[in-house]
C-alpha cells in the first residue's frame, strides 16, 4: 500500500503540475474521511503519511472542551478537560487528544471520495498557482485568444486552462471580435474565486495606451523617454504627454516614428483612436498651452488657489480649442490636472477689464484712495487688500512714484480695512441664527445647525448647495453621514 500511495502522489503531481505536498494532504484527507464513514460518523480522525516511505498512521481524536460546556452533536467527538488531563497533563481546551487506531487499506477507500478530495485540492492549488503567477504580471499588456463572447464581455483563453475577461465596458468603442481572434489587453486585476482565478483585463484604460507606446517605442522601455500623463476619450481621441531624459532626443518625433509608423501602430490597435502626442513641460502654464494643441493660446490667466486657468484664443479658433462635444478641452484638463476654461480673446479682454474694474473699486473704497492710484495698484499685480497690507515694503518701493511715506500709509490703511472687515464678520457670526427649515431637517442637531449658521449656512437651501467636502470642513461628521444629510436637504429639488 505504501508503494501505491507514493505512485499516486508522483503521477498526480506530474499530471497537474502541483507540489507533491498538496497531493499528500489530499490523500490524508480522503483516508480520514473514509475512516470516519467506517465508524458511522461517530468519531473524528486524522491520518499522517510518511512522505519518505508512504506508510501511514491513523489517529482517533477528541476535541478538548471545558468541564461545564454543553456538548452539541456527537458525544464521541469531545472530551472534557478533567478527563483529558488524565491522558495528557499539558492538555488545553480547543486542542486535541489522540489515540492511534487501525488504519484502513488504501485500496478500500471509497474511490469517489478519494477522487473528489484529490481533485478539489489539486484545483485549489492550481488556482493559487495562477493567482501567484499572474499577480506578478498585473500592469502588463498580455495577449489571449477569444474563447467566447458572453453578453458583450470577451472571454480570453490565456493558455494552461487560464481564462481572462474583458468586460464590455472595457472595450474600445464598437470593436468586435470573433472566436479565435488574438487580442491584446491590459491586465488590471487578478482575483481568487471559488470556481477559479479570475483575470480582469481592459482595453479602455489609459494604462493600455501607455503600455502600447512602451511596446512600440524602445526609447520608453530604455528610460530615455518618460510618459508623464495620458488621457483618453475611448475609441475617439487621446492625448499623451512625454518628456526626454536626453536633451538631444526629440520625444515627440521618437513616439511618432518614421512616417508615423509607431503612433499609427498604436492607433490601429485601438480601433482607430486618434492620438495627440504632447511635449510635457515643468511649467504648468506652458504644459497647458502644449496640451491644447492644435489650438493656439493667445493669453492665459492662472488661479492657483482654485487650480484653474482661463485660456484665450482667437475668435475663429474657439470651436477648435473646445473640440467636438468639448473633447479637446476635456482631454487637456484631464492630462494636465488643471480646470481649464477656454474663451475667445474678446471675451477674455472683457472679463479681465471687468475684474480689474471691480478690483479698482475695492481699493478705492477700502484704502480711500483715488481711482488713478487704485488702477496703478491693479496694474502692478495687486489683487487683494491682504497683499497691500503684507507685501514687503521694499517691493512696493520699486513702483514708480511710490515713496516710503506713501507705502507706509497704504499698508496701514489696508490693515485697518482688514480689521474692520473682521469685526463686521464677527458681529454677523454672533447674530447668525439657523432658519426653521434647517433646524427641522432630519438628522440635524441644534449645535450642528448653529455651527453651520456661524459659517453662513442658514437655510436648508444653503445646505443643499454644499458639497460633501465643504460640509465636512464645517461640522464633525463622517463622509457617509454628511452625504446623506446633503441629500435630505436636496430632497425638495426632486419633488
More confident site: 53 or 22:
53
What does the pLDDT read at residue 470? 85
Q: What digits encode the pLDDT tens for the residues 384-407?
A: 888 888 888 888 888 888 888 888
Backbone angles phi, psi at 67, to 5 degrees: -60, -35
How far, in Å, CA of 135 to CA of 129, rounded? Answer: 10
Is the peptide bond prior to 115 cis by the omega test (within 30 degrees of 0)? Answer: no
Residue 134 has pLDDT above 70, yes or no: yes
Range of weakest confidence among 47-56, 129-138, 230-239: 129-138
What does the pLDDT read at residue 472? 86
Inter-CA distances, 196 with 184, 199, 315, 484, Å: 22, 10, 59, 38
Nearest-CA neighbor of 214 among 166, 164, 250, 265? 265
How far, in Å, CA of 310 to CA of 215, rounded? Answer: 37
What does the pLDDT read at residue 207? 93
Q: What is the largest CA-CA distance in the chain?
A: 109
- Band of residue 230 on the pLDDT scale cut at 50, 70, 90: very high
What does the pLDDT read at residue 304? 83
DSSP state of 272: T
Q: How many residues does the chain have?
A: 495
Report the DSSP beta bridge partners of residue 308.
303, 339
How far, in Å, CA of 83 to CA of 494, rounded? Answer: 70
For residue 369, how many C-alpha atoms fall within 13 Å in the half-sphere facing its CB? Answer: 26
Helix axes 111-135, 2-16, angle to 10 degrees: 40
Q: What digits encode the pLDDT tens for the residues 321-352?
A: 898 888 999 999 999 999 998 888 888 777 77
Cell of 279: 511635449
- The residue ranges of DSSP E strands in 252-371, in sequence order, are 274-279, 297-303, 308-313, 339-344
Residue 194 has pLDDT above 90, yes or no: no
Average pLDDT over residues 2-29: 78
Residue 82 has pLDDT above 60, yes or no: yes
Residue 110 has pLDDT above 50, yes or no: no
Q: What digits encode the pLDDT tens for the residues 34-80?
A: 888 888 888 999 999 998 888 889 999 999 998 888 887 788 899 99
N-to-C CA span, the chain: 78
Please give the helix or strand (H or E) that residue 225 lies within, else none.
strand 225-233
Backbone angles phi, psi at 242, to 5 degrees: -130, 155
- Lookup result for grid cell 485697518: 416
DSSP state of 283: S
- Band of residue 457 on the pLDDT scale cut at 50, 70, 90: confident
Query: Is the C-alpha dihedral spanning 351, 356, 361, 367 positive or negative?
Result: positive
Tell me the pTM: 0.59
Dihedral, CA of residue 465, residue 468, residue 473 and residue 478, to nearest 10: 140
- Band of residue 108 on the pLDDT scale cut at 50, 70, 90: low
Contact 166, 188 (CB under 8 A): no
How far, in Å, CA of 89 to CA of 15, rounded? Answer: 46
Range of weakest confidence among 15-24, 46-55, 432-441, 481-490: 15-24
What does the pLDDT read at residue 24? 85
User: Which region holds residue 260: left if phi is over 0, alpha if psi is between -120 and 50, else beta?
Assistant: left
Backbone angles phi, psi at 326, to 5 degrees: 75, 15
How far, in Å, CA of 162 to CA of 249, rounded? Answer: 42
More confident site: 181 or 73:
181
Cell of 5: 500511495
How far, in Å, CA of 155 to CA of 384, rounded? Answer: 60
What does the pLDDT read at residue 1? 60
Cell of 188: 488590471
How far, in Å, CA of 36 to CA of 44, rounded? Answer: 6
Contact 394, 407 (CB under 8 A): no
- Coil vs helix vs strand at 165: strand
Backbone angles phi, psi at 270, to 5 degrees: -100, 30
Range of weakest confidence among 216-230, 273-287, 392-406: 392-406
How far, in Å, CA of 34 to CA of 411, rounded? Answer: 93
Nearest-CA neighbor of 279 among 240, 316, 329, 337? 240
Residue 197 has pLDDT above 70, yes or no: no
What does the pLDDT read at residue 196? 58
Amino acid at each position: 500500500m505504501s508503494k501505491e500511495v507514493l505512485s499516486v502522489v508522483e503521477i498526480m503531481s506530474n499530471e497537474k503540475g502541483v507540489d507533491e505536498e498538496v497531493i499528500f494532504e489530499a490523500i490524508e484527507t480522503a483516508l480520514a474521511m473514509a475512516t470516519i464513514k467506517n465508524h458511522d460518523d461517530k468519531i473524528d480522525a486524522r491520518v499522517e503519511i510518511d512522505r519518505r516511505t508512504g506508510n501511514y498512521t491513523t489517529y482517533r481524536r477528541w476535541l478538548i472542551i471545558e468541564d461545564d460546556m454543553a456538548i452539541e452533536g456527537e458525544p464521541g467527538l469531545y472530551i472534557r478537560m478533567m478527563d483529558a488531563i488524565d491522558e495528557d497533563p499539558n492538555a488545553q481546551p480547543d486542542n486535541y487528544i489522540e489515540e492511534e487506531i487501525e488504519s484502513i487499506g488504501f485500496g478500500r477507500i471509497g474511490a469517489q471520495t478519494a477522487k473528489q478530495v484529490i481533485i478539489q485540492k489539486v484545483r485549489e492549488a492550481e488556482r493559487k498557482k495562477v493567482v501567484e503567477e499572474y499577480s506578478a504580471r498585473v500592469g502588463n499588456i498580455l495577449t489571449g485568444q477569444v474563447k467566447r463572447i458572453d453578453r458583450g464581455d470577451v472571454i480570453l483563453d490565456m493558455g494552461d486552462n487560464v481564462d481572462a475577461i474583458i468586460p464590455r465596458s472595457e472595450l474600445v468603442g464598437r470593436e468586435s471580435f470573433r472566436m479565435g481572434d488574438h487580442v491584446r489587453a491590459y491586465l488590471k486585476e487578478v482575483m481568487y474565486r471559488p470556481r477559479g482565478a479570475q483575470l480582469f483585463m481592459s482595453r479602455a484604460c489609459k494604462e493600455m495606451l501607455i503600455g502600447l507606446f512602451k511596446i512600440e517605442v524602445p526609447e520608453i522601455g530604455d528610460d530615455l523617454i518618460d510618459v508623464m500623463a495620458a488621457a483618453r476619450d475611448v475609441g475617439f481621441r487621446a492625448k499623451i504627454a512625454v518628456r526626454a531624459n536626453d536633451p538631444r532626443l526629440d520625444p515627440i518625433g521618437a513616439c511618432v516614428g518614421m512616417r508615423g509608423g509607431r503612433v499609427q501602430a498604436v492607433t490601429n490597435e485601438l480601433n482607430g483612436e486618434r492620438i495627440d502626442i504632447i511635449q510635457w513641460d515643468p511649467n504648468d502654464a506652458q504644459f497647458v498651452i502644449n496640451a491644447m494643441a492644435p489650438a493656439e493660446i493667445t493669453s492665459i490667466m492662472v488661479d492657483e488657489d482654485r487650480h484653474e486657468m482661463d485660456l484665450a484664443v482667437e475668435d475663429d479658433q474657439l470651436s477648435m480649442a473646445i473640440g467636438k462635444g468639448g473633447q479637446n478641452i476635456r482631454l487637456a484638463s484631464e492630462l494636465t490636472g488643471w480646470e481649464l476654461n477656454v474663451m475667445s480673446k474678446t471675451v477674455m479682454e472683457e472679463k479681465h477689464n471687468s475684474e480689474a474694474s471691480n478690483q479698482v473699486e475695492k481699493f478705492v473704497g477700502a484704502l480711500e484712495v483715488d481711482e488713478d492710484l487704485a488702477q496703478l495698484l491693479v496694474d502692478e499685480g495687486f489683487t487683494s487688500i491682504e497683499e497691500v497690507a503684507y507685501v514687503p515694503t521694499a517691493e512696493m518701493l520699486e513702483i514708480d512714484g511710490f515713496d516710503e511715506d506713501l507705502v507706509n500709509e497704504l499698508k496701514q490703511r489696508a490693515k485697518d480695512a482688514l480689521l474692520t472687515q473682521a469685526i463686521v464678520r464677527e458681529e454677523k457670526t454672533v447674530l447668525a441664527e439657523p432658519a426653521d427649515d434647517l433646524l427641522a431637517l432630519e438628522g440635524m442637531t441644534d449645535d450642528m445647525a448653529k455651527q453651520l449658521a456661524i459659517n453662513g449656512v442658514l437655510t436648508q437651501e444653503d445646505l443643499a448647495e454644499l458639497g460633501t467636502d465643504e460640509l465636512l470642513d464645517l461640522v464633525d461628521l463622517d463622509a457617509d453621514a454628511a452625504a446623506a444629510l446633503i441629500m435630505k436637504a436636496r430632497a425638495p429639488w426632486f419633488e
